[in-house]
Structure formats: C-alpha cells, structure tokens
Amino acid sequence: MGANLKEVRERIKSVKSTQQITKAMKMVSASKLRRAQTAIQQLRPYANQLNAMLVNILSNLEGDASTSFGEEREIERALIVVVTSNRGLCGAFNANIIKATSQKINTDYADLLKEGKLDMLCIGKKGYDYFKKRIPAEQMNGDHVELFSDLSFDNVAQVSQSLMDAFADKKYDAIHVSYGRFKNAATQFPEVEQFLPVAKLEQEENKSRRADYIFEPDKESLLEHLIPSILQTQFQKCLLDTHASEHGARMTAMDKASENAEELMKDLKITYNKARQEAITKELSEIVGGAAALGG
C-alpha cells in the first residue's frame, strides 16, 4: 500500500509540473497571438481589396494589354506551396493543412505526381518533414523552414517573386498555396488557394462586377508593376494567416491541456485519499486485532 501511495504522489507531482509548462506555453502563445492577429487583421482587408481589383482587371483585359500572370495553360507541371508551422503542440493545426494538401493532390494532381511533374515547396518544418518522406527528393523544390523568423514584406517577397518568375518562365503552369486561414483563437481553416494563374471571374459574374478602370500612365506600364506587388501582398497574407493560426491553435491546445491536467489531478487526489484511508483503516484493524489477541 505504501508503494501505491508513493506512485500516486509521484504522478500528482508529474501532472502538476506538466500543467505549469502548458500554462506557461499558453501565456507565451497568447502574447504572440496578439501581435500576429493584429498583423493579419490589418493586412487582410487591404489584400482582399487588391486581389478583387486584380481579378477584375485581368478578367477585363482587352487585346491591347496582357500579362503572363493571368495566362491559363494546359497543366503539364504544377507546384504546391505548403505553409505549416515549425513547431508542434498546436493540436491538429498542421495535420489539417497537410490533409487538405493531400486531398488536393489526390483530386487534381495524382497523375502529375506519378509522372514526377508535381513539385512541393515547404514553408515550415512540419510540412517539410511530412512530405519529404512521401514525395521524391527531386520533386521537393527546396524548403524555407526559417522564413517565419522574419515575415517582413521584403523577406517574404523574395519567395513570392521566385514563384512568379517560375510561372512566367513556364516552369510551372499552375501554383497553389496551402495554408491555415485565421478566424479567431479557437478557429482556423485549412485553405488551398490558386496563386497562379490569377483566377478570372466567370462570364456572368464578370458582367455584373465589371469595373471600368482609368489607367495612368499607360496600361502596360501599370500592370507591369501593379500585378507583382499585389501577388506579393497576397502571398504574405497567406503566411501571416498561418502565423496567427499557429499561435491561436497552440494557445487553445495548451489551455485544453491545462484543463485536462487539472481534472487528472483531481482524480489522482481522490485516488490518493482513498488509498490513504484504506492504509489507515488496515493499520487500525491490525492494532485492534493485536490488542484483542493480547487480551484473550
């Protein structure tokens, strides 16, 4: 019985120590989440409006101007950019992004994958660790696992510019980005968006949403500088979304873990008290039995 009491005491001590860690991680994630949430909430309306304008412009281009970023080609080779976190302990966040990516591959690019014509570019260690075991090495288009250490526009733009160059050079006919879209601390959604070519409006939708833009200076010069800038902003939005989603998911996971530790400690304390009472009762019974034997 003494050994059992000691074992329960050790378990209570271990759970309490774990709870202190999960509470600390929750506080750290909450602090980081505030900054990450502010960043994505400030960028998202601007990025969404820019994207709507870009889609509208490319949907209404006439013969006197064109851009390669809206050119739809037969897909002979494609690239999927997978944006996950570098660290775990954030619930099913990374698993959901990986699952959404795998579904996209199985639905649209299974044949390209078998033919060796589907490449993967991973931003974040978790996605890289998963796909490097399942995708041939020659189809893993490098990795940027350290990109989250600096999400400044200039740093992220280097990656998005390389994607645009690869599409313009016809290395890839389609580029998709798989990431985690942030809603709030408790809710994040895996998304797989088409990055290039820029999706155009359907014909019926185009008629109702057509905007007659006035270009100054000429249309070609403006498109040359405007479209890359908008695409870079869109790509940064995906990374900031994922960054905020990661901290939200981790904060929620650590909060739940702390609650579970509290419940487990309550159960262990009840078990400890029962065992202790049984030990005391047994000792009293032995004393009484011994006294009765002596009296007899």
Domain assignment of residue 289, yes or no: no
For residue 286, the Cα-to-chain-centroid distance in whole angstroms is 62
What is the predicted pLDDT for the residue at 249?
A: 96
Residue 143's H or E segment, with its range, is: strand 140-143
For tokens 């790509």, name the residue: 235
Domain assignment of residue 127, yes or no: yes
Work out how many domains the chain is built from and give that number: 1
Domain assignment of residue 283, yes or no: no
Residue 42 CB-density burial (10 A; 0-12 exposed, 13-18 middle, 19+ buried): exposed
**Do 258 and 250 contact (CB within 8 A), yes or no?**
no
Domain assignment of residue 154, yes or no: yes
For residue 113, give its domain range. Answer: 40-249
Written as six digits, the tokens of 125 are 């260690």
Domain assignment of residue 281, yes or no: no
- Please report, for the domain that includes residue 187, its CATH number: 3.40.1380.10
What is the predicted pLDDT for the residue at 60?
A: 67
What is the predicted pLDDT for the residue at 205?
A: 52
Per-residue pLDDT of the chain (296 residues; tens, 9 = 90+): 555 888 888 999 999 999 999 999 999 999 999 999 999 999 999 998 988 888 777 776 655 445 788 888 999 999 999 999 999 999 999 999 999 999 999 999 999 999 999 999 999 999 999 999 999 989 998 668 788 888 999 999 999 999 999 999 999 999 999 999 999 988 999 999 999 998 765 544 545 556 667 777 777 777 778 889 999 999 999 999 999 999 999 999 999 999 999 999 999 999 888 888 888 888 888 788 777 777 65
Name beta bridge partners: 194: 176
Domain assignment of residue 223, yes or no: yes
Written as six digits, the tokens of 51 are 């994207």
Helix, strand and coil in the chain, % to nearest 5: 65, 10, 20
Domain assignment of residue 103, yes or no: yes
What is the predicted pLDDT for the residue at 64?
A: 47
Residue 126 CB-density burial (10 A; 0-12 exposed, 13-18 middle, 19+ buried): buried
Alpha carbons 68 and 281: distance in angstroms, whole number: 85
What is the predicted pLDDT for the residue at 114?
A: 94
What is the predicted pLDDT for the residue at 36?
A: 95
Domain assignment of residue 114, yes or no: yes
